[in-house]
A and B are shown apart, each in its own frame.
Chain A
Amino acid sequence: MSKIYVFGIGGTGARVIKSLTLLLASGVEINSDVVVPILIDPDKANGDLTRTIELLKNYQQIRTRVNFSSQSNKGFFRTKIEDVCSNFRLDLKDIENDKFRDYIDYGGLNENNKALISLLFSEDNLNSNMEVGFKGNPNIGSVVLNQFRYSSDFKDFASSFVQGDRIFIVSSIFGGTGAAGFPLLLKNIRNADQSLATCALLKDAPVGAITVLPYFGVTPDPESKIDKSTFISKTKAALSYYEENISGNNSLNALYYLGDNITKDYENHEGSIDQQNEAHFIELASALSIIDFMNIQDVDLEVVNGCAQNPIYKEFGIKNDTQSINFLDLGHLSQQYLGKYLSQYFLFTLYLKNNLRDSLHLPWATGSVKIDTQFLNQPFYASYLRNFNERFVEWLEEMSRNVRGFAPFNLNVGSSNLFEFVVGIPPKTSFLEKGSNYTRVNHILAKVEPRVGNPNVEQKFMSLFYLATEELVKEKFNF
C-alpha cells in the first residue's frame, strides 16, 4: 500500500493541505492509497493550522465509516488520510515562551561566538518571541527548525517509510517558517541520521516540492514585524539559496513553482489564532501539484545516492488572466479535473442542505438499507459530514472573495435553477429527461441505487451520491 507523505510547512503549508483534503473528499484520485499529512509550524495556536487539523480529523471520522473494497472503486473520501504524528503536527520543542536568544543559549556563548551571532541576527531577531512563529524571519527558522532530525515525530515518520512511498514538501518562500523549513527538511531527508533503519531508503526516496511565491500581502502595521515590502527581496534571497542547494545539487525529483502578481492585503497578524487567511486559488493549484507529482511514473523519479537523475521543474498557468477565475479560465486538464470533482461535491452539499429531508420516502432511501431520520440523527451525518460540508462551502466562499478570486460556482442557486450552479457553463437539457432540478437528482439517485448493493448505511449513502452526482455532472456539463 503506497503512501505519500505531505509535509506542510508554515501557514501556506497548512492551507495547501486543507485544499488537498477538500479535493480528496470530492473524490479526486491521487494515485496513492494513503496520504500522510505532517504539519510543521511552531505557532501551535495558528488559526490556519488549527483549521487544517480539525478538517483532517473530520475527514478521518468520515473515512473510517466508508469502505472501498477494491482498488478501482471511486468515490468521495476515496483516499485514506493517516497520521504519523499526534494531531498531524510535528512537535517542535523549546519554542513556547522562549526568545530566540534563549533558544540558542546566547548568554552562555563566549565573546567570539556572540560577535558572530550578532553579525547574523539583529537585536530584534534575538529578542524575538517564537511562540507565534518566526514572523517572516527565515534566518531564525533555519536554526530552530534544524531540530527536525532529533525529533521523535521525524523518527516515527522515517520508520514508517517504506519502498514505494513518496514525499512532498509544501512551503512558501516569502515567510519565515516555510522558507527556512523546506531546505532543512529536504536536507534531513536526503541525509537522514545513520541510526535510522530507513536512512538509505530516505536518501533515495522520490521527493517533490512546491515553493509558493508571494501571492498575498499584509496591511502596513508599525506594531508588526511582518512587512510585505520585504516579500520580494526574501523571495529572491531564498531562490538564490535554492539555486545552489536544491536545484543546484539535484536533491529534488520535482520542483513546482507558483505565484501571482495580483494580490490582496490581508490584515497584518504575526501569528496565533488571528492568522487565519481566507482560502486562495493559489493554495488549490498548489494542491494540484501534489496530485501531478503522484502521477509521475516511478522510472522518472529515480534517485541515486541522494541525487535525482531527471529533475523536473514545473509552473502552473491559467488560460485567461482575469480577476475572478472560473472553470473556463483554466487549462483544459485543470478544467476537466477540478470541474468534475468539485462540481460533484458541491452538488452533493446543495442536495443535502436543501432537499434530503424531503426525499426520504423515495425508493433510493427505502430499500433494505434505509436512509431515514434515524440515520440523519447519527453523528456520521449530523456532525461529521455536515460539518465537513460547511467547511467545503466556506472554502469556496473564501476563494470567491479573494483576489485573485476563484468563483466557479454560483453559490446561491435556488430550487428552480439548481443546475445553473456552474458559472459560465449552461446546463444541457433534454425534452425527454424526467424531472428538473432536485427532482432530476432524485430520479438519478433512484436509477443508480441498484448499483450500490447493500453495504452499511454510511457506505450506501456516500456511494449513492457519488454515482448520482457523477452521472449528473456528465449529463449537464460534460465533465
Chain B
Amino acid sequence: MNDLFAPFYEGWGLFYLDQFSSDMYNNLLYVPIGLTLVLSTALMLIVYYYAIDHPKFAKWYHWLIWVLLICGINFIVAYYVSYNELDLIYAQKQQTLPYSTEFFSFSMFNAFWTLMFGLIVSALIKWKSVNCKRTPF
C-alpha cells in the first residue's frame, strides 16, 4: 500500500522532497496518512450527502466549505504524523531532525489530494442524495 500512495505524494517526481520523501517512504509513513485521507474524505462526504443532506446546505460553497474542512483535517493529520514519526526516528538515532518546511509542503500536497479525491467521491456518490444531488455540479 505504501507503493500505492507514494506516487501521489511524490507527484511522480514533481513533489519529491529528496531525503524527506525517502524517509517517509522507507518508514511506511505514507500508509496511515493515505488511508486517513481516503477514509475520512469518503466518510465525511457520505455524511454531507446523506446524513446532513439539507436544503440549506445545498449550494456549491457549502460543499466547498465542507471539503476544505476535510482538507484542513488531513493537512493536520499529515503534519502531525510526519513530524512526530520522523522526530522520533531521528531522536532514536540521536540526530537532529533535518526538516522544517518539508512538513508544511507535504501537508499541502496531502490537502491537495484530499480536494481531488473529494471531487471524485462527490461525483460518484451524490446522485441518491435528496437535496444535494446537484452539489457542487
Where the two chains meet, the residues of A that have a C-beta atom closer than 8 Å to any C-beta of B are 359, 361-363, 366-367, 434-435, 439, 442-443, 446-447
Contact = CB atoms under 8 A, between A and B. Distances in A.
B55 interface: yes
Contacts of B58: 361-363
Contact of B133 (A363, A435, A439, A443): A363
Interface string B124-137: 00000011111100
B56 A446 contact: no
A446 B130 contact: yes
Contacts of B132: 363
A443 B134 contact: no
Contact of B59 (A361, A434, A435, A447): A361
Contacts of A359: 55
B87 interface: no
A446 B127 CA distance: 12
Contacts of A361: 58-59
A434 to B, nearest CB: 6
Chain B interface main SS type: loop
Given A361-B58, A362-B58, A363-B58, A434 B134 contact: no
Contact of A367 (B131, B134, B135): B134
B130 A435 contact: no
Given A362-B55, A363-B134, A439-B54, 12 more contacts: A361-B58, A363-B130, A363-B133, A366-B134, A434-B54, A434-B131, A435-B55, A435-B56, A442-B55, A443-B55, A446-B130, A446-B133
Interface residues of B, number: 12
B131 A442 contact: yes
A439 B53 CA distance: 12
A446 B55 CA distance: 8
Interface string B46-57: 000000011110
Interface in B94-137: 130-135
Nearest to B59: A361
Nearest to A448: B130
A434 B53 CA distance: 8
5 contacts: A362-B55, A362-B58, A363-B131, A363-B133, A435-B56
Contacts of B56: 435, 439
Contacts of B59: 361
A108 to B, nearest CB: 76
Contacts of A434: 53-55, 131
Nearest to A443: B55
A434 B131 CA distance: 10
Nearest to A361: B59
Nearest to A363: B134
Contacts of A446: 55, 130-131, 133
Contacts of B55: 359, 362, 434-435, 439, 442-443, 446
Nearest to B54: A434
Contacts of B54: 434-435, 439, 443
A447 B134 contact: no
A357 to B, nearest CB: 15
A158 B17 CA distance: 93
B134 to A, nearest CB: 4
For the complex of A and B, list the 7 residue pairs with the smallest distance between their C-beta atoms, beginning with the closest.
A442-B55, A363-B134, A446-B131, A446-B130, A363-B133, A447-B130, A366-B134
A443 B132 CA distance: 10
Interface string B15-31: 00000000000000000
A438 to B, nearest CB: 9
A443 B131 CA distance: 6
B67 to A, nearest CB: 18
A340 to B, nearest CB: 24
A147 B91 CA distance: 113
Contacts of A443: 54-55, 130-131
B93 to A, nearest CB: 55
A447 B59 CA distance: 17
B61 to A, nearest CB: 11
B91 to A, nearest CB: 51
Nearest to A434: B54
Contacts of A439: 54-56
A359 B53 CA distance: 16
Nearest to B134: A363
A295 B133 CA distance: 43
A363 B55 CA distance: 9
Contacts of A362: 55, 58, 131
A463 B135 CA distance: 23
Contacts of A363: 58, 130-135
A361 B135 CA distance: 10
A437 to B, nearest CB: 11
A434 B56 CA distance: 10
B104 to A, nearest CB: 36
Contacts of B133: 363, 446
Nearest to B55: A442
A190 B53 CA distance: 63
Contacts of B53: 434
